[in-house]
Amino acid sequence: MIQCVEEVEKLNDSFEKNSPPEDEDVDVEEDEEEGFDPTLPEPRPEQIKCLKMFFGHHNFKPVQWKVIQSVLQQRRDNLVVMATGYGKSLCFQFPPVYCVNISVVISPLIALMEDQVLQLQMSNIQACFLGSAQTRNVFADLKKGFFRVVYMTPEFCSGNISLLEQLNKSIGIALIAVDEAHCISQWGHDFRGAYRDLGKLKKCLPDVPIVALTATASPSIREDIVKSLYLVDPLVTCTSFDRPNLYLDVNRKSGDMIQDLKTFLVKKKGGDYEFEGAAIVYCPSKKEAERVTASLYKLGIRCGVYHAGLSIKQRRETQYQFMRDEIQCVVATVAFGMGINKPDIRKVIHYGAPKEMESYYQEIGRAGRDGLPSACHVLWMPGDMALNRFLLNQTKSDRFRGYKMEMMAKMEKYLKSTKCRRKLILSHFEDKQLRKVTSGILGTDKCCDNCRCGPLLSRGQESFEQELKDFGACAFQLMGAVSAMGEKFGITAPILLLRGSTAQRVPERFRKNPLFGAGRSVSEPWWKALGRELISEKYLMETTGFNKFSTLCKLTPKGRSWLNSAKDEKHRTLLLQPNIDLCPRAYAELYGKLVAERQKLASIKDVPPAILATNKILLDMAKIRPCTVARLKQVDGVSEAKANMLAPLLEAITEFSVSVCSAPPPFTQTRKASALADSVAISYRLFQTEGKSMVQQVADARSLPMTVVESHLLQAVNAGHPLDKERAGLSSSVINTIIRIVSSPPLNSGKTESIRALVPEEISTFLLRLCVAKLQREGLPNPLPSSLPSAQPNISWIEVSALC
């Protein structure tokens, strides 16, 4: 034990010397348009149609399309390192569906493969899992070309290469996907010997592209994967490892297990506790897992335990119950999780120090796969690391032990650090030029516990991820009620006035006011939530009343000014970032109903609820409120088959809209403008709807280069979204200057510089491109402005588009 400690101390010293000092930020840059490659051809209309019909998506993500295009057009090998939740499955599921042939998918986890087969079948994509226990009918259908996606274990694949050769000759194999490819590396945390045999695939099927995929692979492991699979000139694609929806938190154990666990729970009315959503608690040993399970039982938590000491039947039952929301939490050793395809896990808790960064990242990757906010907690004590070191010291291989000791030292640095934990994770996995984080996350209380409490908060960075909503009409009523009551009451009295209450708190003289009862269709808690938001945004303020026990609600100068201008309905716009309390009728309450209806439907079909529809789909349905199958298809992630399957939920939406909502469902027509990437949408929203007066103000607000924001606005315009061009700097005089240049000869070069060189320097390239986008849609003015020559343009707008 003493020898082990000395060895680790040396490793720690070496690691500290070669690591960035604690008082320096790890070199991380913000990622704005990850994977976007302007040289790639756009997906064809028939490919987008196939994507929507079978997978429910309106567009490919940039990296997805990069991989798929390389397989379809170049038949090229790929190594894809893609963060959990980005959508790596689509990379190997789309090609065979589009090309009507077969993808072979090799995965180490039977449970995961069975879930994916079920999910594909629910979208009318024929898929199967091949194993030694399969019936002859499955193999017969396979040879007839009935299946599009075929799953198998590495052991089955190694013993059935001749079957793959036969399928390639008779039907054609679009690609062979090696999922969880980090298992092939002896340096990986999930090394599996059978994966090393997959190198013969390339020798036996040299013309079939091999796509190796993983969510966790450091540079050395990536190199090992390429060599072991004999990939030929592979396209190596890495998305950022950042998971912006995951909050990272580390704390010390208190010594009282129940008190430790209570910090992650909420108390129910009956006195018992519950997690706010599905949860996994990882423990370092079977004994600890049993102790944590017993503690959670005492707190009234529906939970199960999962570890290698249980029978296969017991483990499968626990997994089955968890996937179907029959239990809320699984307490497990690291034996559980890699095969879990449950998108709505809200918490991953490590009760004990993780052994290394790679396994830790893989385990927290099970949280928030639906993209919604989730939390990852570690509770540890120094004794945990001492135990891990003692166990590792039993390893015979000096080289392997040394590598793992170094990984453990990095993990301990992560646990003890007072700096941003997100940066530390990225610095482990990514080369310097690839260390990217989602804009708006660093330094905010959404990043990690250190950023929440530390000096980074002083930068005042905001997160603009929430969608802005117009609360102008309701704000006009509430502020009007405050004014009508002479600003001599608290916030509750004006709300009671709006709700038409005859309580004593609303004096008789106010009951004849036109606002009396004008807001009775909205609940009192909703009005109070809006009031708190207006106070937060400084439209209203609270002051002490006639005595120290009373509070008065008053209009601020900002609120009074807005209320005066809002008397004209044209100026009655007030954009706020809503929380769930502000939309209970059209959002939270309906979402709860949809969750309940999904559970009923899932029970009838005997499938996990999240496979039927993820929480994100239900949230979008609650916002959009589609009342027909056609409109339901417009929800991202809903394929044609899934839309028909979810049709019973439409009745709940219709009933809700009629009985509760005064307004019709907001999704009244098909969107004509294309959807924007998240980062592009944020920039566009800040400029166009929040009214940042200049492009530079958006750049300053987001801490981005101005050129990036300009690129975002151009993408929005090209996608069909309106833009206030005057405010962007595109004045009529600038437009006329550009029209004069492109309308007058000579202009016969095919390079961008041919136009740029003729345009005055004071007109930026951004304004030039913005003007071209405008003229492409609207054409040249006819007649041309009087200040311009009457000569007809000698260049078409298609050519102008090519030039710019």
- Last residue in a domain, options 194, 220, 238: 238
- Last residue in a domain, options 548, 576, 604: 576
The answer on pLDDT for 445 being more than 60 is yes
Higher pLDDT, 761 or 585: 761
pLDDT of residue 215: 80
DSSP string, 75-137: ---EEEE--TTS-THHHHHHHHHHHTSEEEEE-S-HHHHHHHHHHHHTTT--EEEE-TT--HH
Give the separation between CA 218 and CA 645, rounded to whole angstroms: 41
pLDDT of residue 802: 37
Residue 19 lies in a domain: no
Residue 9 lies in a domain: no
Give, as one character, the DSSP assignment of residue 676. Answer: -
Tell whether omega for the bond before 783 is within 30 degrees of 0, i.e. cis.
yes
pLDDT of residue 779: 62
pLDDT of residue 124: 92
Residue 666 lies in a domain: no
pLDDT of residue 231: 92
State pLDDT tens for residues 384-411: 877 777 777 677 777 777 777 778 878 8
Share of the chain above pLDDT 90, in %: 25
pLDDT of residue 546: 67
485 and 528, same domain (yes or no):
yes
Residue of 530, 522, 521 lying closest to 478 (CA atoms): 530
Q: What is the dihedral of CA 19, 24, 26, 31, to 10 degrees?
A: -170
DSSP string, 16-50: HHHS--TTS----EEESSTT--TTSPPPPHHHHHH
Range among 10-14, 118-122, 632-636, 718-722 with highest mean pLDDT value: 118-122
The answer on pLDDT for 798 being more than 90 is no
The answer on pLDDT for 204 being more than 50 is yes
The residue written with tokens 């005064």 in the block is: 662
210 and 285, same domain (yes or no):
no
Crossing angle of the two packed helices 382-392 and 2-18, in degrees rounded to 10: 110
- The token pair at 604 is 């009838």
State pLDDT tens for residues 516-547: 988 887 778 778 878 877 876 789 987 766 66
> How many other β-carbons are positioned within 10 Å of the β-carbon of residue 592?
13
Residue 435 lies in a domain: yes
The answer on pLDDT for 348 being more than 90 is yes
Residue 233 lies in a domain: yes
441 and 567, same domain (yes or no):
no
Least confident range from 214-218, 575-579, 786-790: namely 786-790
CA angle, 473 as apex, 472 and 474 as ends, to 5°?
95
92 and 192, same domain (yes or no):
yes
The kind and range of the H/E element at 376 are: strand 374-380
Sign of the C-alpha dihedral computed for residues 138, 141, 145 and 148 taken in this order: negative
Residue 18 lies in a domain: no
The total number of structural domains in the chain stands at 5
User: Per-residue confidence at 676, pLDDT binned at 50, 70, 90?
Assistant: low
pLDDT of residue 658: 62
Q: What is the dihedral of CA 427, 430, 432, 433, to 10 degrees?
A: -140
Residue 511 lies in a domain: yes
User: Per-residue confidence at 191, pLDDT binned at 50, 70, 90?
Assistant: low
- Last residue in a domain, options 551, 576, 601: 576
The answer on pLDDT for 447 being more than 50 is yes
pLDDT of residue 9: 41
Q: What are phi and psi of 248, to 5 degrees?
A: -105, 135
436 and 486, same domain (yes or no):
no
Residue of 608, 118, 98 lying closest to 323 (CA atoms): 608
Strands 273-274 and 266-267: antiparallel
pLDDT of residue 136: 75
Give the separation between CA 691 and CA 707, rounded to whole angstroms: 19
State pLDDT tens for residues 249-289: 998 887 889 988 988 998 887 778 899 899 999 998 899 99
The answer on pLDDT for 695 being more than 80 is no
Are 74 and 211 contacting, i.e. CB atoms less than 8 angstroms apart? no
Higher pLDDT, 394 or 436: 394
454 and 493, same domain (yes or no):
no
Residue 669 lies in a domain: no
Give the separation between CA 780 and CA 794, rounded to whole angstroms: 12
Q: Outline where 583-677 has alpha helix (H).
A: 589-605, 609-612, 615-624, 629-632, 640-645, 647-659
State pLDDT tens for residues 35-56: 556 678 889 999 999 999 999 9
> What CATH number should be reported for the domain holding residue 622?
1.10.150.80
State pLDDT tens for residues 156-180: 998 899 999 999 999 999 999 999 8
Are 240 and 429 contacting, i.e. CB atoms less than 8 angstroms apart? no
348 and 443, same domain (yes or no):
yes
483 and 553, same domain (yes or no):
yes
Beta carbons within 8 Å of 180's beta carbon, 6+ residues apart: 107, 108, 109, 190, 213, 214, 338
353 and 299, same domain (yes or no):
yes
Distances (CA, A) of 333 to 285, 289, 391, 693, 714: 6, 7, 16, 54, 50
Q: Map residue 288 onto helix, strand or coil.
A: helix
Give the separation between CA 133 and CA 116, rounded to whole angstroms: 18
Give the separation between CA 214 and CA 84, rounded to whole angstroms: 9
Beta carbons within 8 Å of 476's beta carbon, 6+ residues apart: 563, 566, 572, 574
> What CATH number should be reported for the domain holding residue 525?
1.10.10.10
> What CATH number should be reported for the domain holding residue 88?
3.40.50.300
- Domain span at 739: 678-803
Give the separation between CA 62 and CA 73, rounded to whole angstroms: 16
User: Per-residue confidence at 708, pLDDT binned at 50, 70, 90?
Assistant: confident
109 and 210, same domain (yes or no):
yes
264 and 199, same domain (yes or no):
no
When computed from its CA atoms, the radius of gyration of the chain, rounded to whole angstroms, is 30
Are 249 and 213 contacting, i.e. CB atoms less than 8 angstroms apart? no
The answer on pLDDT for 31 being more than 70 is no
Are 449 and 421 contacting, i.e. CB atoms less than 8 angstroms apart? yes
Which residue type does 499 have?
R
Q: Residues 200-229: what's their mean pLDDT? A: 88
589 and 571, same domain (yes or no):
no
> How many other β-carbons are positioned within 10 Å of the β-carbon of residue 29?
13
Higher pLDDT, 405 or 380: 380
The residue written with tokens 């807005």 in the block is: 562
Sign of the C-alpha dihedral computed for residues 65, 69, 71 and 76 taken in this order: negative
